[in-house]
Amino acid sequence: MSKRFPFPNPVNETSARLVAAGVVAISALYLLTGSTLVLVALTYGFAARVATGPAFSPLAQLATRVITPRLNVAHKFVPGPPKRFAQTIGLAFASAALVLVLLDNSGAAQFVITALIVAATLESAFAICLGCIMFSFLMKIGVIPQSVCEACNDITLRAPAETSN
């Protein structure tokens, strides 16, 4: 993890949902065009968000600096580690699709991207983060230590709702 560009903790759920909506749009663009460059951009975005949070992701910058501040809604803040884990899962899906395309298996890549669209749609439309659910399960069975996310287990450690990003 970069100390200069740390992954945010807590994460503004409004911004996370906007990024997920952007992932849906970019993924749909890939399905419509079959463009390898779109997959490269999608994969880069996930890699940038996993490594540095929104710092080097154009999509995350748009969500956190432009759109979220203009929304007149109560913003909910959620623990960062599960969101980073979810971004890592997205990176795995996008990377797998890119490798599949490079190996000339666009049908399998389309399947992977369709699964990514389903997960990102659940996050963006319904605030259901499948990666976060998986993170919680892995904490419960001891694969991820409790110390990684104290706020995940203690609701009193979560940030109160605010109206800014």
**How many CA atoms does the CB half-sphere of 133 hold within 13 Å?**
7
Q: Using the 8-state DSSP alphabet, how is residue 78 labeled? A: E
Residue 36: the pLDDT is 98
| Mean pLDDT, rounded, for 141-157 | 80
How many residues are listed for the chain in this entry? 165
pLDDT in tens, 62-88: 999 999 999 999 999 999 999 999 999
Question: Do 137 and 143 meet the contact criterion of CB atoms below 8 Å apart?
Answer: no
pLDDT in tens, 84-135: 999 999 999 999 999 999 999 999 999 999 999 999 999 999 999 999 999 9
What pTM value is reported for the model?
0.90
Structure tokens, 19? 């990024």
Looking at every residue in the chain, the average pLDDT score rounds to: 92
Rounded Cα distance, 32 and 54, in Å: 27
Between 117 and 160, name the one with better pLDDT: 117
Residue 151: the pLDDT is 83
Count CB neighbours of 37 within 10 A. 9
